[in-house]
Structure 1
Amino acid sequence: MVELRIFTEPQQGATYDDLLAVAQAAERLGFGGFFRSDHYLHMGGDGGPGPTDAWVTLAGLARETSTIRLGTLVTSATFRLPGPLAVAVAGVDQMSGGRVELGLGAGWFEEEHRAYGIPFPALGERFDRLEEQLEVVTGLWATPPGSRYSHDGAHYPIVDSPALAKPVQDGGVPIIIGGGGRRRTPALAARYAAEFNAAFRSADETAELFKGARQACSRIGREPSSLALSAAQVVCLGRDEATVRRRAAAIGREVDELRANGLAGTPDQVADKLRSFAKLGAERIYLQVLDLSDLDHLVDIAETVLPLVA
């Protein structure tokens, strides 16, 4: 019915070894993907031991896993130039044997840009840069071997590039675009993405965003069903209510708030809410796991929820 993927927030405090343990557990337990955010600054807490770079991390995981899909939700277009980003992602795709997906967004967290000396233009320019990055990255990957790629862009002009390295996946690395924008975001998804993601939205909001993405496809003559739809929700599951409360406390959240704004409760309760997103058209759900030390949480989800929804 719906594929479940694990989604982590390592900027809140996680080492590579922490992420490796979660990724390997997710693979062993039958989840469809291991994804991570791409941030350089924590959002609450002390952020220790400090950030890890998303694509450096994924390169390591590519060699230490074998079947699970790997990717970002999402890489900020402000962080990397599109040419080097295309090279890096293609390289990780090669290292993984073709298991990588690239979530790409305009960027929003101004404080992390200030903390690490990254320019942070106004919103309109960030979207302009995102659109041009998508054009360049997909153009480089689509250029036939032995040919050259050029792009007369306002922000990222490309002249006579050999357009290497190449991903090993046919058609290039799948691109994920998401967000709450009602105009430019769905238009970019329709033009460039394999998947549109509605993150941390209610069922009603998700339905509206999915509708907008489908309509954007129709406007440019793309078959709407060719754009995969997905959602992301925080998860806090327990086989009993006491465990739900304990896991909510461990991530500093209230159970009632998590029930309203995420996937919280017993296996049947979580499965019911997952089915509600599947009925809206979500083909996969990214489960935001905030306590990376609690690998038993993944075990409980795999043993009690996966059989009910997969």
Structure 2
Amino acid sequence: MRISIWPGASQPYGDVLETARHAAETGWDGVWFADHFMPNSAELERPVLECGSVLAAIGAAVPRVRVGSLVYGNTYRHPAVVANMAATVDQITGGRFTLGVGAGWQINEHEQYGIELPPIGVRIDRFVEALQVIRGLLREPRTTVHGKYYTVTDAVSEPKPVQTPLPVMIGAKGEKRMLRVVAEYADMWNTWGTPDVIAHKSAVLDRHCAEIGRNPREILRTAQALTVVDGPLPDLPMPVIGGSKAELAEAVDAYREAGVDEWIVPDVFLGKGADRFHAMDVVLSLVRP
């Protein structure tokens, strides 16, 4: 099982860079970064770094580890722009970028910036067309998609990524439609969840793959939960794992049993500076004793 760190976007870039460098130096596999412009809370004045800029900077400054978006919201950018951004970051990193994408969801960003946030059904329809545009531009010499929401005609996108193909990861939890989209279009899948939740949703994804005739092992499974290395678990409406080292080790084993290919660790409860690096080392030791 691979292991990656997810630095929070509300900290100074210098802290993000230090975390990424420590990950690269100690044997972690990747660094992910979220695509948001403001907190999804009342703390709207808390700063948030922009995802694409940070990934390009980290990819240029930090060797070896993979970098990826967790995940680009489709509503914020035209998919042709996303494809060009992805290819460029892959060029910058020498082929170490994973393009994570999702349908978009955070209400306050759309309201404040005047960006349309359609009903979920329309959002998914738009997302499917966007995936057709993105995959075409990243993988084909020319791309034509004449859809209801996006139109590209005999379109080129050069340079292509270093990777052939550049992996596309879809963030999704909806079992009826979104996991079907994952089965049809994704190289990787991501969702929040404790191991039992991941095992259940992974089985649903396998059924969608069977229905369309795709080998489910072609889709790598990635997952994350808020992670506590040594301390009480917070009472939050989000998945949380750990508490003690033994409890965290048990969760790591459970993720493996659930078929998770990559465990992503948010750094929010790992402390700062030397404390964070120590917590990262403990977490890494549980994955690679």
TM-score bin (small chain): over 0.9
What letter corresponds to residue 94 of structure 2 in structure 1? G
Q: Equivalent residue for 1:21?
A: 18
Normalising by structure 2, report the TM-score.
0.92
Q: Equivalent residue for 1:98?
A: 95
| CA distances 1:206-254 after superposition (whole Å, capped 9, x unpaired) | 211100111111211111111111211111213xxxxx25xxxxxxxxx
Q: Aligned ranges for residues 184-223 of structure 1 at < 5 Å? A: 184-199=177-192, 201-223=193-215
Check if 1:32 corresponds to 2:29: yes
Q: Equivalent residue for 2:82?
A: 85
Q: Equivalent residue for 1:181?
A: 174
- 1:309, CA displacement in angstroms? 2.2
Report the Cα distance in structure 2 between the residues aligned to 1:116 and 1:9, rounded to whole angstroms.
22
- 1:51, CA displacement in angstroms? 2.3
- 1:48, CA displacement in angstroms? 4.9
Q: CA RMSD in A?
A: 2.0
Report the Cα distance in structure 2 between the residues aligned to 1:93 and 1:23, rounded to whole angstroms.
17
What letter corresponds to residue 303 of structure 1 in structure 2? D
- 1:49, CA displacement in angstroms? 5.5
SS of the residue 1:303 aligns to: helix
SS of the residue 1:38 aligns to: coil
Are the structure 2 counterparts of residues 47 and 23 from structure 1 closer, same or farther at C-alpha, using a change threshold of 3 Å? farther
Report the Cα distance in structure 1 between the residues aligned to 2:251 and 2:272, rounded to whole angstroms.
22
For structure 1, the residue ranges without an aligned partner over 5 or more in a row are: 239-243, 246-254
Q: Equivalent residue for 1:294?
A: 272
Are the structure 2 counterparts of residues 53 and 292 from structure 1 closer, same or farther at C-alpha, using a change threshold of 3 Å? farther
Report the Cα distance in structure 1 between the residues aligned to 2:121 and 2:234, rounded to whole angstroms.
37
- 1:67, CA displacement in angstroms? 0.6
Q: Equivalent residue for 1:71?
A: 68
Report the Cα distance in structure 2 between the residues aligned to 1:111 and 1:44, rounded to whole angstroms.
9
Check if 1:263 corresponds to 2:227: no
Are the structure 2 counterparts of residues 281 and 111 from structure 1 closer, same or farther at C-alpha, using a change threshold of 3 Å? same
Report the Cα distance in structure 2 between the residues aligned to 1:150 and 1:179, rounded to whole angstroms.
26
What letter corresponds to residue 5 of structure 2 in structure 1? I
| CA distances 1:286-307 after superposition (whole Å, capped 9, x unpaired) | 1111158613344334433323
- 1:177, CA displacement in angstroms? 1.4
SS of the residue 1:151 aligns to: strand
Report the Cα distance in structure 2 between the residues aligned to 1:303 and 1:232, rounded to whole angstroms.
17
What letter corresponds to residue 57 of structure 2 in structure 1? G
Are the structure 2 counterparts of residues 292 and 278 from structure 1 closer, same or farther at C-alpha, using a change threshold of 3 Å? closer
What letter corresponds to residue 4 of structure 1 in structure 2? I
Alignment equivalent of 2:156, drawn from 162, 176, 191: 162
SS of the residue 1:305 aligns to: helix
Deviates more, 1:86-95 or 1:228-237: 228-237
Alignment equivalent of 1:132, drawn from 113, 129, 132: 129
Report the Cα distance in structure 2 between the residues aligned to 1:204 and 1:270, rounded to whole angstroms.
14
CA contact (8 A) 2:3 2:29 kept: yes
CA contact (8 A) 1:237 1:297 kept: no
- 1:262, CA displacement in angstroms? 1.4
Equivalenced residue count is: 287
- 1:152, CA displacement in angstroms? 1.1
Q: Equivalent residue for 1:5?
A: 4
Q: Equivalent residue for 1:230?
A: 222
For structure 2, the residue ranges without an aligned partner over 5 or more in a row are: none
Report the Cα distance in structure 1 between the residues aligned to 2:163 and 2:99, rounded to whole angstroms.
12
SS of the residue 2:75 aligns to: coil
Q: Equivalent residue for 1:59?
A: 56
